[in-house]
């Protein structure tokens, strides 16, 4: 990178330019008057303007034929034509006014068009992919007062000044970037010292602008990777990557049994600290891998005893944060930020591995796709945090106060999203406690009320309760920030249409709900059902009953070279809540699991969750079991095990035949292949 000119040199060049411009405008001796000088005719003026306009356009067109190029935002290059356009307009008005004064009326549509253009300029979103507001909000919600934002250019600082959060005293909520000196736009020991000092204070956030052809962003990231742990690595646009870095001491190695996750083995892990406040503080994570680590992605999850995920981090490929180690072993050093709003309680930091580019995870021991690494004790922050630290994707403007609680925003329901009747709306509410110690103006105990309102302004379904039984409102500190995970079940009988999700806080035992906060508009679609009984390849007589909800009366199997296609025929007795998954396992005579397909029910028409099943309905679910190789015609004694289970608890529904218990799985013999 060539050295940048100093500010003093730029000022000197500007003064020289201004002096030269002043000399050019010095008065010159007047020329002799030419009383017979002729004013150019309108025809001559039009010819000159046409020449000045068409020649550059033609030249640009010919160049573009040979070297086609139109950069992002290239429409701004058309501003060079604006002076010529204004001259054309002026000539037209001048010619019109020479004929009649009514030509001045032409100014009215021109002024109206100009006003519309200005209004559009200030209201129409442009360059949405390069919007900096999501970056500013992301760092604000996950940052701390001691953190540092590295800004290479003054325009980045300007974005923070425009979109940052203002405190009541008028100051900006940290972290706020300071522009680097022009001399720092090249890598130097001074810049390295600046980064070291920032890491000692807290997290370093670096929104790297990668579209300027400079090597400096890469040099900064390379240095940070050597001296710190990566806590965030997130692309916000094709030209901007946000990374976060922390300096955490290496945790003591933990002695664990090697854990096989698909093609890779987790040989060791270490986590520290194990007690951390819910205040965007980092947790150091060391992972040691062995095996085939290619084309894999890693998922870190912070879960509670019920399995709810409170924080997560996904990255790919596995080995992205690896340090040099002995042959055949990959040692990764990274960090996980513990967000604001987590209730103080123990959590489990768990890990999963899956194919790159997929959300699926390889099953670990016990059938779960997550492997526990450590238990973390999350505590309340030592001092109240700004409500801007809550990681809400959708913010209420203004926040809604209700029963002493302040609803800041929510997550989980994209506006105008489509949901299927018979499913649950998972959402997280972000709340701040407005009550002060000793404040008796509001009742202590609270409940959360969720409702769904239809287009006729009728409430069609509600839920009332408290999602955190171990963390009631009366135990919250003053100004505490809390995340409230909840769910609203959409009945299977809901009609297709548009609805609105609402929320409110009410005193416990009070059935009256005031004006609730409107969260998001959604659309609900009802699944088409059939009352026609399909004819399966193999009929179960008598059928198997699962719980008190459905009868499995037949199945059809299609053998393929690399997979087994299974269709199950069901008759519904009653709707099954919460929604259950179907498991289909291919088992050898010795009990070895050869193939499996576990997941929510799917039909040829699409998803069919058990919460959408209606009494007297018939449906056929489809399942694909991948095989390691084709099944030999001599292979006998294979069995399909089929059943329903709750994904959150892995508990299966009991099976009965003619009223007699038959375990927790229906056993279906695999028919011999047809000759």
Q: What is the pLDDT of residue 6?
A: 44
Q: What is the pLDDT of residue 367?
A: 66
Tokens 């190695």 correspond to: 253
Q: Give the residue numbers spanning the domain of 435.
A: 390-525
Q: Which residues contact 16 (CB under 8 A, 6 or more apart)?
A: none
* Residue 76 falls inside a structural domain: no
Question: 517 and 588 share a domain?
Answer: no
Question: 215 and 338 share a domain?
Answer: no
Q: Quick one: which of 419, 432, 421, 416 has its CA closest to 519?
A: 416
Average the pLDDT over 611-627 and give the result: 94
- 501 phi and psi, to 5 degrees? -90, 135
pLDDT digits (tens, 9 = 90+) for 358-386: 888 887 776 678 899 999 999 999 999 99
| DSSP three-state, residue 167 | coil
Question: 602 and 639 share a domain?
Answer: yes
* Residue 492 falls inside a structural domain: yes
* Residue 366 falls inside a structural domain: yes
Q: What is the pLDDT of residue 572?
A: 96
- Mean pLDDT for all residues in the chain: 84
Helices 189-201 and 216-227, axial angle in degrees (round to 10): 50
Domain boundary residue among 336, 354, 379? 379
Q: Quick one: which of 534, 650, 657 has its CA closest to 598?
A: 650
pLDDT digits (tens, 9 = 90+) for 226-252: 999 999 999 988 888 999 999 988 887
Domain boundary residue among 124, 151, 176? 124
Domain boundary residue among 184, 212, 246? 246
Question: 614 and 650 share a domain?
Answer: yes
Question: 323 and 397 share a domain?
Answer: no
Question: 118 and 149 share a domain?
Answer: no
Least confident of 93-102, 199-208, 647-656: 93-102
Least confident of 4-13, 138-147, 436-445, 653-662: 4-13
Q: What is the pLDDT of residue 14?
A: 43
* Residue 99 falls inside a structural domain: yes
For the chain, how many structural domains are there in total?
5
Which H or E run contains 669?
strand 666-669
| Cβ–Cβ under 8 Å, residues 461 and 480 | no
Q: Is the pLDDT of residue 17 over 50?
A: no
End-to-end CA separation in angstroms for the chain: 73
Question: 403 and 515 share a domain?
Answer: yes
Question: 117 and 185 share a domain?
Answer: no
Peptide bond preceding 662 in cis form (omega within 30 of 0): no
Q: Which residues contact 217 (CB under 8 A, 6 or more apart)?
A: 152, 206, 208, 209, 210
* Residue 450 falls inside a structural domain: yes
* Residue 674 falls inside a structural domain: no
Question: 511 and 470 share a domain?
Answer: yes
Question: 201 and 307 share a domain?
Answer: no
* Residue 496 falls inside a structural domain: yes
How confident is residue 523, by pLDDT bands cut at 50, 70 and 90? Answer: very high
Q: Which pTM was predicted?
A: 0.79
Question: 341 and 375 share a domain?
Answer: yes
Question: 560 and 596 share a domain?
Answer: yes
* Residue 37 falls inside a structural domain: no
């Amino acid at each position: 990178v060539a050295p940048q000119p100093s500010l003093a040199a730029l000022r000197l060049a500007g003064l020289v330019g201004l002096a030269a411009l002043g000399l050019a405008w010095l008065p010159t001796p007047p020329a002799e008057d030419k009383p017979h000088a002729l004013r150019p005719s309108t025809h001559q003026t039009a010819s000159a303007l046409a020449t000045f306009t068409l020649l550059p356009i033609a030249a640009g067109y010919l160049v573009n034929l040979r070297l086609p190029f139109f950069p992002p935002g290239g429409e701004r290059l058309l501003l060079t034509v604006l002076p010529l356009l204004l001259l054309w307009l002026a000539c037209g008005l001048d010619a019109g006014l020479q004929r009649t004064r009514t030509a001045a009326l032409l100014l009215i549509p021109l002024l109206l068009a100009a006003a519309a253009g200005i209004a559009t300029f200030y209201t129409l979103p442009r360059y949405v992919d390069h919007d900096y507001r999501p970056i500013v909000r992301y760092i604000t919600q996950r940052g701390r007062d001691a953190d540092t934002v590295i800004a290479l250019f003054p325009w980045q600082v300007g974005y923070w000044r425009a979109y940052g959060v203002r405190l009541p005293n008028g100051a900006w909520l940290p972290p706020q970037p300071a522009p680097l000196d022009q001399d720092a736009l090249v890598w130097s020991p001074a810049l390295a010292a600046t980064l070291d000092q920032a890491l000692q204070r807290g997290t370093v956030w670096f929104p790297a602008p990668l579209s300027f052809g400079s090597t400096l962003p890469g040099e900064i990231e390379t240095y940070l990777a050597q001296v710190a742990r990566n806590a965030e690595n997130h692309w916000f646009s094709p030209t901007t990557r946000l990374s976060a870095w922390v300096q955490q001491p290496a945790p003591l190695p933990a002695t664990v049994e090697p854990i096989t996750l698909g093609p890779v083995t987790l040989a060791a892990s270490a986590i520290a600290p194990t007690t951390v406040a819910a205040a965007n503080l980092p947790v150091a994570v060391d992972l040691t891998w062995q095996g085939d680590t290619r084309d894999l992605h890693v998922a870190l999850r912070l879960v509670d005893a019920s399995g709810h995920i409170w924080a997560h981090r996904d990255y790919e490929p596995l080995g992205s944060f690896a340090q040099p180690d002995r042959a055949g072993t990959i040692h990764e050093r990274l960090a996980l930020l513990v967000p604001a709003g987590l209730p103080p309680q123990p959590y489990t930091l768990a890990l999963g591995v899956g194919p790159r580019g997929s959300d699926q995870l390889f099953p670990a021991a016990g059938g779960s796709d997550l492997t526990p690494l450590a238990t973390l004790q999350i505590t309340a922050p030592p001092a109240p945090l700004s409500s801007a630290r809550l990681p809400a994707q959708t913010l209420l403007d203004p926040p809604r106060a209700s029963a002493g609680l302040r609803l800041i925003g929510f997550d989980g329901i994209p506006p105008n999203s489509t949901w299927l009747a018979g499913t649950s709306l998972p959402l997280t509410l972000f709340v701040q406690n407005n009550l002060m110690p000793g404040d008796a103006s509001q009742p202590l105990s609270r409940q959360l009320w969720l409702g769904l309102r239809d287009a006729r302004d009728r409430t069609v379904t509600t839920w009332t309760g408290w999602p955190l039984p171990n963390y009631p409102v009366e135990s919250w500190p003053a100004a505490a920030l809390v995340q409230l995970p909840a769910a609203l079940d959409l009945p299977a009988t809901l009609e297709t249409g548009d609805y609105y999700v609402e929320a409110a806080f009410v005193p416990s035992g009070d059935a009256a709900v005031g004006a609730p906060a409107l969260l998001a508009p959604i659309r609900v679609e009802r699944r088409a059902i059939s009352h026609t009984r399909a004819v399966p390849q193999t009929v179960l007589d008598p059928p198997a009953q699962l719980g008190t909800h459905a009868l499995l009366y037949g199945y059809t199997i299609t053998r393929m070279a690399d997979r087994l296609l299974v269709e199950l025929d069901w008759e519904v007795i009653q709707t099954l809540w919460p929604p259950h998954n179907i498991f289909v396992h291919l088992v050898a005579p010795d009990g070895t699991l050869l193939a499996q397909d576990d997941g929510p029910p799917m039909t040829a028409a699409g998803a069919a969750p058990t919460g959408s099943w209606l009494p007297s309905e018939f449906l056929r679910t489809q399942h694909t079991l991948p095989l390691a190789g084709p099944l030999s015609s001599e292979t006998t004694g294979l069995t399909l095990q089929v059943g329903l289970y709750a994904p959150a608890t892995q508990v299966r529904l009991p099976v009965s035949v003619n009223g007699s218990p038959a375990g927790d799985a229906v056993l279906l013999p695999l028919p011999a292949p047809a000759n």
